[in-house]
Amino acid sequence: MALNRYICACRTVLSNCQERAAYSFPLVQQVRFAMYPNTYVDPVFDKEVYKQTDGTLPYDIAIPIKAAKNNQTSSLFYDPVVAKFTNLTMKAGQKNLARGLLRQTFEAIKRVQVEKYHKAPDSEKLKIETNPLVIFHKAIENCQPVVGLTAIKRGGKTYQVPVPLNDKRRQFLAMKWLLTEARNKPKPRLQHLPERLSREMLNAYNNEGNVIKRKLDLHKQADANKAYAHYRWW
């Protein structure tokens, strides 16, 4: 009987502590611990690291290694920018659908450029790019803004302060604008997302289209608000 009473008392105390913690931190949810302890190291899946002439490995063989994630691969066809764009295209976890849409987008770009290549005269054929991956990377690079605006409150007023953007943020904004423009464009019912997205990428590759205009408008707003740039520090 004494043991049962002790167990019941311990359970009551634990439940009360959990209720207090949930009340004190309503936005904090309990999560499980990490699968691997701190002694495990991250895997190195880059083949170039293992091609070193001295024969050394990037880690000691006696140290346990974590399992590689499903998006980490040593394939020659893996492109981290394409993988990130696929994740941004994905909705409701349907990655196979997102990959298929992006594949159809590249096919549409290839079809348009090859047709343009065959119609062009011989003197201009060398200037036409037919590789959709090169066009994709160039379009992302052309759409990346240099500066952005952030809201900073000073003296009861909110100012749009221009701030420089890091590479990760610039790449994200370029991808987001391309997808938003392709999805929100007034669409003919006969055109699907791959056709509209391929057209936006080709326009961005040639420094044309609404995405480039949006980037330039952001630069103009940042230049107009350059008088508030000191609010970043003060």
**Phi–psi pair at 101, nearest 5 degrees:** -65, -40
Are 100 and 80 in contact by the 8 Å Cβ rule? The answer is no
What pLDDT, in 10s, does the model give residues 195-229? Answer: 999 999 999 999 999 999 999 999 999 999 999 99
Q: pLDDT > 90: what percent of the chain?
A: 56
**Phi–psi pair at 189, nearest 5 degrees:** -65, -20
Q: pLDDT > 70: what percent of the chain?
A: 82
**Phi–psi pair at 133, nearest 5 degrees:** -70, -40
pLDDT value at residue 77: 86
Does residue 231 have a pLDDT over 50? Answer: yes
Rounded mean pLDDT, 152-159 = 90
- pLDDT classification of 44: cutoffs 50, 70, 90: confident
Does residue 54 have a pLDDT over 90? Answer: no
C-alpha–C-alpha distance, residues 170 and 146, integer Å = 7
pLDDT value at residue 139: 96
Does residue 61 have a pLDDT over 90? Answer: no
Mean pLDDT taken over the chain: 84
